Structure 1
Amino acid sequence: MSSNEKACSRRSFLTSAALASAGLIFTNTNDWANAFNQKKPNSKFAGVQIGAITYSFRSMPEKNIADILKYIVASGVSAVELMGDAVEAYAGKPQKADKAAVAAWRAHVSMDKFKEVRKMFDKAGVSIYAFKQPDALAMNSTDAEIDYLMRAAKVLGAKSVTLELPKKAEHTARLGSFGTKHKMFVGYHTHLQATDQVWDVALSQSPYNSINLDCGHYIAAGGANTRASLLALIEAKHDRITSFHMKDRKSKQNGGDNLPWGAGDTPIKEILLLLKQKKYDIPVSVELEYKVPEGSDAVKEVKKCVGFAKNILLPG
């Protein structure tokens, strides 16, 4: 079989698996044909949407979009920040191609496959609030790539696209202008460079520039970043925060480790109760970064995090 035939065969297999798992075609031999006959997940508790970034499932054995959707449902999650690789593979992105070839594909690809993914997720009871494919939003990305990503995000039902906060202000201005054009928020994520002021320039450039606030990284950064300052930041800028990443990390002075929820210094309980009390409509993404215990897996651990949040928001 030629390499082209192998590629076509693989794409055909992935497509069939995805459609079968979504209930769009039927087969007696596919283990996932009845995957979504179970009750649809609901991880919105007391008005607070607990979701997950699909990066959390990176350690699971299968990576195609149907498998990822199965993991989401098995975790009890009803809304997600969707990473782009599996979606683009399903849509036919050329594999192992250089950036120019990928950019050309993005500039001309049909949105039909993205519509199919939306239907799969809708059928399973899972909404997509954010879409992340940062290499389409990079400094060297073409205008056509940025347009493509925002169009794809909108087709998927997302409110925002997300990426790490660029170092150059001219790039956040550029992305903000595309956000305005497409009415799509651009949520900027930070790691240990997080401060209360780190987003200020980007936020001033466009009403569609926003914050993807990683609460664990904020705490691990140390310095002026404390539990109290994090809660104050959320209150002060809640109208510019489009999503959270939630993980439990130790503070810098305590080593900064990622730990199971409840064992670190991130004020998870206080944040969730603040969202509940103030009725802030900001989804909270479980981002699984602590070591998966022996005998467990990412699906089970995400489900534990969802349960942790539920017990806080719906006590008793």
Structure 2
Amino acid sequence: MFLTPKTNYLNKLITFFTAPKPIIMKTKKSIQQRRSFLKKTTALIAGTTLLGPSVFGARSFLSFTPQLNSKINGVQMGLITYSFRSMPDQSAEATLHNILDTGINAVELMGDPAEQYAGKPESPVDRRTFYGLMRRKRNNELNDEEEKEFMVMQSKLESYNKTVAAWRATVSMDKFIALRKMYNDAGVSIYAFKPNAFGKDNTDEEINWGMKAAKALGASHVTLEHPSDDAHTLKLGQMAEKHDVFVAYHGHEQQTPTFWDTALEQSSHNALNLDLGHFVAAGNEAPLEIVREKHSHIKSMHLKDRQTPEHDKGNVLWGTGDTPIVEVLQLMRDNKYTFPVTIELEYDIPEGSDAVQEVKKCLAYAKNALES
């Protein structure tokens, strides 16, 4: 059922994202000044709580186009819908509500909400549990029982993926076009698509499907974890050329300044989905330099606040880690870099909060940086 929010709620939200804020700060790398910056950001967030848990009332659908704009001083702030993995409803409609509640109007869409909307067979594995175990495994945090649970889930997914591959071979693009319209009508654009369809174990039919679906959704690029396989990046780049989309490779702590060089040489349609937080956690020096040097090849950049190896590589509240968030955003603003910045919520959500509220905090922190 479609409900229209009260006009003053929308006006408050628009004012929050467009009105100038009387906050002036000097960008320093000291922890003390970054924490001071964080306190100013928190004051901005306090204002948004006046709007209630959802600025659009109960989690119902919209019947109008909200005039939201998370492009701040030329820098497009977006988010990856993976940030909402802890939310109870993972449907495309609920995901859209979560996006709108944050005030963000451009996203990198994970595969599941879009494919479920299009009728994909139901998974036998709880994705939220699996993603949580996968993240902990990546950090070598699983105990023996959790390791067994993860292996069982992985086995089930391998069988399920064959079913999905058969479904992808025949599914129409109509539902993806309809999803794009639903998001666009609500004021949200999809700049990147990240289905589990581009790995070495996926068929060529699945890869073609993923690129077609990205186009249908309006995305300029697809994203995937770098396969660390030169033959595969060559293949993906060549296939992307035929579909006129870009393949942007994401990395974790294996990122280095030369991590993407071979892929970039192979195809003009290979690109970067840089993750600056992971880049810092990997121990790379001068993280701003990778942005300066590769900016023309970056299609989107994941942003989170991680610590260096000397500080245990923590994934922490924005403004309390070692990732130069303020500096990179101001670098982009001052140099007019146009690729989207993708908020990726990965730190532990505080008790009493949820993913939507934490993404709002990240966005407010970014807004402070870009208006200072």
Q: In the alignment, does 2:213 pair up with 1:156?
A: no
Q: 2:90 aligns with which of 63, 67, 71?
A: 63
Map 1:85-164 to 2 at 5 A. Answer: 85-96=112-123, 98-133=160-195, 135-164=196-225
The Cα of 1:35 is off from its aligned counterpart by 3.9
| SS in structure 2 of the partner of residue 98 of structure 1 | helix
Q: Please, which runs of 5 or more residues in structure 1 have no aligned partner?
A: 1-16, 23-29
- 2:301 corresponds to 1:220: no
Provide the secondary structure at the position in 2 that maps to 1:119.
helix
Residue 103 of structure 2 corresponds to residue 76 of structure 1 = yes
Secondary structure, aligned partner of 2:169: helix
Which runs of at least 4 in structure 1 moved beyond 3 Å after TM superposition? 30-40
* CA deviation after TM superposition for structure 1 residue 140, in Å: 1.9
Give the distance between the partners of 1:99 and 1:307, measured in 2 at CA. 38
Q: Kindly indicate whether residue 243 of structure 2 is the aligned counterpart of residue 182 of structure 1.
A: yes
SS at match of 2:350: coil
Asked whether the 8 Å contact 2:64–2:185 carries over to 1, the reply is: no
Distance in 2 between residues matched to 1:283 and 1:289, nearest whole Å:
18
2:311 corresponds to = 254
Name the Cα RMSD after superposition: 1.9
Q: Distance in 1 between matches of 2:63 and 2:297?
A: 35
Alignment of 1:202 with 2:263, yes or no, is: yes
Matched positions, count: 286
Q: What is residue 79 of structure 2 aligned with on the other side?
A: 52
Q: Is 1:314 the equivalent of 2:371?
A: yes
What is the TM-score normalised by the length of structure 1? 0.87
Match of 2:229 among 163, 168, 193: 168
Match of 1:234 in 2: 291
Relative to structure 1, the CA distance from residue 38 to residue 139 in structure 2 (aligned partners, 3 Å threshold; closer, same or farther) is closer
Q: 1:34-53 alignment to 2 at 5 Å?
A: 34-35=61-62, 37=64, 39-53=66-80
Aligned partner letter, 1:260? L
| Partner residue, 1:193 | 254
**Cα shift readout 1:41-99 (whole Å, capped 9, x = no counterpart):** 21100010000000001111111110000000001111000001111011011224633
Query: Residue deviations 1:166-188, cap 9 Å, x none?
Result: 02110111101111111111010
Task: Give 1:39 deviation, angstroms.
Answer: 3.6
CA distance in 2, matches of 1:21, 1:148: 35
* CA gap 1:257/1:92 in 2 versus in 1, 3 angstroms: same
Distance 1:34 1:147 in 2: 32
- Residue type of the alignment partner of 1:43: S
Identity %: 51
Residue deviations 1:288-316 (CA, integer Å, cap 9, x gap): 0111111111001101111111111123x
CA contact (8 A) 1:51 1:80 kept: yes
* TM-score, normalised via structure 2 length: 0.74
CA spacing shift, 1:254–1:33, aligned 2, 3 Å: closer
